[in-house]
């Protein structure tokens, strides 16, 4: 993801439909990616995240830096 | 919390027109029960007049019982819409008492059974450990199954349920039109249509019955013959007690008490989207109300009553579980006892229509029980317990000849799928837990990816104690967060996790050498997470605090302990 953002890309969209669990380290990676995208005027989007993962993102307050999509 | 599927939850008050119509709808589903009672009374040749008297007294008991059950102040009443109905578990004992010793003995023993029910009800909170959710799930499922024999023969126009010369094919069509209308209202209906599926279905069924000429002249005549208003009278004066009947009535009483637990648990579950386990204190108050209802039933001169599963199924289907409906239902029911023509009209509904109503309601009951069963993780022992209990419960229905030669005293249990499955579940639940521990220890290596080991270890433990799936998922996530944080340099050795479960809580004691995870009260900001090496551990410490019922850190010699309690 970092490589993508170091290149031409300014936004990243991640398909979370097969992700079972989001760890603390995973949250930190999302934060770093969202920061990098934001610095280039872009966004980080997650699509297909399960209710469980959405709940974690909302609990830690990352919903203001990550766009959650169905 | 009120589930989004309910239009009127237990604490809501519907507007008066809706309240009256919902009460009427609840009353109509009881029609099949009245017909069953008339059939059981016919088994010991009561006269038509006595049957009418017992039926009308039953209406008074049902109406008052529903209102008492809806009460939530004091030691009587569960506070739910859970009307009573004539108890099928008492049919064989009613035949024993009424046929062998006469109606005064039947009424006397009904009062004695009521006293016994109150005694059992007061014991329930003390024996709640006997009723874990998987046992209740079995009982609830079988409560739905047990209603089916009252519905299917009527729905499919079994000749035994029809009057002589009736056309079976046209009656089946009436039943299926009624059922399809009810299902259609629930599946695609909005607003009032969604609220009154049973009433609309019955209207459609009556219209179809008229169009297909399925209303026998005798049914019309039975209504015409009744006066508009009359005072209900006792069938025979006096009550008597026959102590030799105490044992069969006690067994029937245990059977109905088990059904009370299943039905009242269902009421709790459908009214709370965050429901996790049975509130036995509320069940005890509800069962007490039921016992008092039966004391009154005997004194007034009618038979035993029990919580009605069909009425609860209807409440789920229509999305209306308000306790105020119990009061409108109760008033209408008591009025019916004084209006013989109205009562006769309801009992004269063509059997396929009442059958369709019962089948429609039992669908919701069965599925709610299965949902409760599958909400828990089950290991081989618990699967055996639940499977065996369901199999025994179904055996009587599928192969009724199996229990024909059983001792008469055991028939209330053997002839009741609910009682038989509940008793098998209770016994097996106790036996299967012998030697089963509610503690275990996981040993994990710090600094490696432990997700699969954590998930599998917790799933195995969760299944052995029948923990909720959500609890085990949360424990898996929390433990993984902890292990990741410890891997940021807080420890290098093995980490041991002691798990303890007690139905209400899952406790995790995570111990390791090195530095403890810092428990912070405020969420680490972006800068801390990005630049502070301890940011990840702080996020874990904060996140655990959001989820845990209790969270603390202590040191014991050179080991740090993180004590985490999750609610089950």
Please say if the pLDDT value at position B39 is more than 70: no
The residue of chain B with its CA nearest to that of A27 is B536
Q: How far is CA B428 from CA B74, B278, B405, B418, B466, in A?
A: 35, 20, 25, 15, 14
Question: Cβ contacts (< 8 Å) between B477 and chain A: which residues?
Answer: 21, 52, 56
The DSSP-derived string for B207-234 is: HHHHHTT-S-HHHHHHHHTS-S------
Percent residues over pLDDT 70 in chain B: 97
pLDDT attached to residue B194:
85
Mean pLDDT of B387-411: 87
**Tens digits of residue pLDDT in A1-46:** 777 777 788 888 999 998 888 888 888 889 888 888 888 888 899 9
Residue B376's Cβ-count burial label (10 Å; 0-12, 13-18, 19+) is buried
pLDDT bucket at B40, cuts 50 / 70 / 90? low
**Secondary structure of chain A: what % helix, strand, coil (to 5)?**
45, 15, 35
Please say if the pLDDT value at position B89 is more than 70: no
pLDDT attached to residue B566:
92
pLDDT attached to residue A45:
92
pLDDT attached to residue B288:
96
Mean pLDDT of B487-495: 86
Question: Hey, is A69 helix, strand or coil?
Answer: strand
- The alpha carbon of B173 is separated from its chain's Cα centroid by a whole number of angstroms, namely 31
3-state secondary structure labels for all residues of B196-210: CHHHHHHHHHHHHHH
Please say if the pLDDT value at position B315 is more than 70: yes
Handedness of CA B478, B480, B482, B484 (dihedral sign): negative
CB atoms within 10 A of CB B452: 8
Please say if the pLDDT value at position B261 is more than 80: yes
- Categorise residue B441: left if φ over 0, alpha if ψ from -120 to 50, beta otherwise: beta
Euclidean distance between the first and final Cα of chain B, in Å?
17
B526 in reach of chain A (CB within 8 A): yes
Please say if the pLDDT value at position B43 is more than 70: no
Question: From CA B219, how far away is CA B348, in angstroms rounded?
Answer: 5
**Tens digits of residue pLDDT in B284-311:** 999 999 999 999 999 999 999 989 988 9
Mean pLDDT of A47-65: 87
Spatial CB neighbours of B441, under 8 Å, sequence gap ≥ 6: B496, B497, B498, B499
DSSP B82: -
CB contact at 8 A, B356 and B179: yes
pLDDT attached to residue B32:
67
Please say if the pLDDT value at position B122 is more than 80: yes
- A24 and B540: CB-CB below 8 Å? yes
The residue of chain B with its CA nearest to that of A32 is B530
Q: How far is CA B133 from CA A6, B49, B140, B464, in A?
A: 54, 45, 10, 14
CA atoms within 13 A on the CB side of B220: 8
pLDDT bucket at B554, cuts 50 / 70 / 90? very high
pLDDT attached to residue B509:
96
The distance of B478 to chain A (nearest Cα, Å) reads: 9
The residue of chain B with its CA nearest to that of A62 is B526
Question: From CA B77, how far away is CA B85, in angstroms rounded?
Answer: 16
- Across the strands, what pairs with B511? B496, B561
Please say if the pLDDT value at position B45 is more than 60: no
Question: From CA B350, how far away is CA B485, in angstroms rounded?
Answer: 69
Interface list for chain A against chain B, based on CB atoms closer than 8 Å: 21, 23-25, 27-28, 31-32, 35, 52, 56, 59-61, 65
B145 in reach of chain A (CB within 8 A): no
| Nearest Cα to Cα of residue B260 among B326, B324, B309, B327 | B309
Residue B155's Cβ-count burial label (10 Å; 0-12, 13-18, 19+) is buried
Q: How many residues does this entry show for chain A?
A: 70
DSSP B441: E
Name the most confidently modeled range: B83-87, B148-152, B170-174, B400-404: B170-174
pLDDT attached to residue B141:
87
- Across the strands, what pairs with B509? B498, B563
Question: From CA A25, how far away is CA B519, in angstroms rounded?
Answer: 18
Question: Which pair of tokens denotes residue B490?
Answer: 């807080």
- B530 and A31: CB-CB below 8 Å? yes
Q: How many residues does this entry show for chain B?
A: 568
Q: Of the ranges B25-29, B107-111, B531-535, which one carries the lowest mean pLDDT score?
A: B531-535
pLDDT bucket at B466, cuts 50 / 70 / 90? confident
Mean pLDDT of B157-180: 89
Q: Of the ranges B103-112, B319-328, B401-410, which one carries the lowest mean pLDDT score?
A: B401-410
| Nearest Cα to Cα of residue A68 among A56, B213, B90, B288 | A56
- Across the strands, what pairs with B500? B439, B507
The answer to pTM > 0.80 is: no
pLDDT attached to residue B355:
87
CB-CB: which of A24, A32, A52 is closest to B484? Answer: A24
Backbone angles phi, psi at B406, to 5 degrees: -70, 155
The distance of B531 to chain A (nearest Cα, Å) reads: 10
Question: Hey, is B273 helix, strand or coil?
Answer: coil
Mean pLDDT over all residues of chain A? 86
CB-CB: which of B484, B529, B543 is closest to A59? Answer: B543
pLDDT attached to residue B44:
66
Backbone angles phi, psi at B378, to 5 degrees: -125, 130
The arrangement of strands across the sheet holding B439-445 comes to B439-445, B494-501, B505-513, B559-567, B550-556
pLDDT bucket at B386, cuts 50 / 70 / 90? very high
Mean pLDDT of B402-407: 85
Question: Hey, is B505 helix, strand or coil?
Answer: strand
- A25 and B529: CB-CB below 8 Å? no
The DSSP-derived string for B135-150 is: HHHHHHHHHHHHHHHH
Mean pLDDT over all residues of chain B? 88
pLDDT attached to residue B114:
95
Please say if the pLDDT value at position B91 is more than 80: no
Which residue matches tokens 């990616």? Answer: A33
Question: Which pair of tokens denotes residue B389?
Answer: 């209990």
Q: Of the ranges B375-379, B438-442, B508-512, which one carries the lowest mean pLDDT score?
A: B375-379
- Across the strands, what pairs with B498? B441, B509
DSSP B244: G
Residues B426, B404, B388: CA angle, nearest 5 degrees: 30
pLDDT attached to residue B389:
94
């Amino acid at each position: 993801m970092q490589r993508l953002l170091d290149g031409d890309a300014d936004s990243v969209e991640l398909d979370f439909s097969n992700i079972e669990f989001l760890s603390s380290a995973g949250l930190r990676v999302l934060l770093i990616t969202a920061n990098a995208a934001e610095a280039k005027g872009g966004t980080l989007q997650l699509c297909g995240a399960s209710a469980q993962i959405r709940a974690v993102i909302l609990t830690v307050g990352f919903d203001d830096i990550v766009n959650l999509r169905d | 919390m009120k589930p989004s599927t309910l239009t009127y939850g237990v604490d809501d008050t519907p507007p008066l027109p809706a309240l009256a119509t919902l009460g009427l709808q609840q009353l109509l589903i009881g029609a099949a029960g009245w017909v069953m009672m008339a059939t059981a009374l016919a088994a010991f040749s009561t006269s038509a007049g006595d049957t009418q008297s017992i039926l009308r007294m039953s209406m008074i008991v049902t109406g008052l019982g529903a209102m008492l059950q809806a009460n939530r102040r004091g030691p009587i009443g569960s506070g739910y819409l859970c009307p009573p109905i004539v108890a099928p578990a008492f049919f064989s004992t009613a035949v024993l008492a009424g046929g062998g010793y006469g109606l005064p003995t039947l009424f006397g023993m009904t009062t004695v059974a009521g006293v016994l029910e109150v005694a059992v009800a007061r014991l329930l909170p003390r024996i709640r450990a006997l009723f874990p959710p998987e046992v209740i799930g079995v009982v609830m499922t079988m409560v739905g199954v047990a209603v089916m024999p009252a519905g299917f023969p009527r729905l499919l126009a079994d000749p035994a349920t029809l009057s002589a010369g009736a056309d079976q094919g046209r009656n089946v069509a009436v039943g299926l039109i009624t059922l399809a209308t009810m299902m259609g209202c629930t599946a695609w209906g909005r607003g009032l249509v969604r609220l009154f599926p049973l009433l609309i279905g019955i209207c459609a069924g009556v219209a179809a019955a008229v169009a297909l000429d399925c209303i026998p002249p005798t049914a019309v005549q039975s209504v015409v013959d009744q006066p508009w208003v009359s005072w209900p009278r006792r069938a025979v004066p006096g009550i008597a007690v026959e102590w030799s009947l105490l044992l069969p009535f006690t067994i029937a009483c245990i059977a109905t008490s088990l059904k009370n637990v299943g039905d009242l648990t269902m009421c709790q579950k459908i009214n709370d989207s965050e429901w996790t386990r049975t509130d036995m204190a509320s069940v005890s108050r509800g069962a007490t109300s039921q016992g008092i209802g039966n004391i009154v039933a005997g004194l007034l001169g009618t038979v035993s009553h029990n919580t009605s599963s069909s009425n609860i199924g209807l409440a789920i289907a229509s999305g209306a579980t308000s306790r105020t409906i119990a009061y409108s239902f109760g008033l209408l029911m008591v009025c019916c006892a004084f209006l013989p023509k109205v009562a006769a009209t309801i009992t004269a509904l063509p059997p396929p229509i009442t059958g369709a109503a019962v089948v429609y309601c039992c669908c919701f009951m069965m599925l709610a029980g299965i949902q409760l069963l599958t909400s828990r993780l089950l290991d081989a022992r618990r699967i055996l317990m639940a499977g065996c209990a369901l199999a025994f419960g179904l055996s009587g229905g599928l192969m009724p000849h199996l229990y024909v030669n059983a001792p008469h005293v055991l028939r209330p249990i053997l002839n009741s799928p609910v009682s038989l499955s509940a008793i098998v579940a209770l016994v097996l639940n106790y036996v299967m837990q012998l030697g089963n521990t509610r503690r275990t220890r996981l040993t994990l290596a710090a600094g490696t990816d432990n997700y699969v080991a954590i998930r599998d270890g917790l799933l195995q433990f969760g299944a052995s104690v029948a923990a909720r799936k959500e609890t085990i998922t949360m424990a898996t996530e929390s433990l993984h967060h902890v292990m990741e944080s410890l891997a940021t340099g807080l420890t290098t050795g093995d980490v041991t996790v002691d798990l303890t479960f007690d139905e209400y809580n899952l406790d995790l004691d995570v111990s390791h050498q090195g530095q403890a995870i810092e428990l912070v009260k405020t969420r680490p900001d972006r800068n801390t997470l990005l630049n502070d090496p301890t940011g990840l551990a702080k996020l874990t410490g904060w996140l655990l605090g959001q989820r845990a019922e209790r969270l603390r850190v202590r040191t014991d010699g050179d080991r740090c302990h993180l004590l985490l309690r999750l609610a089950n």
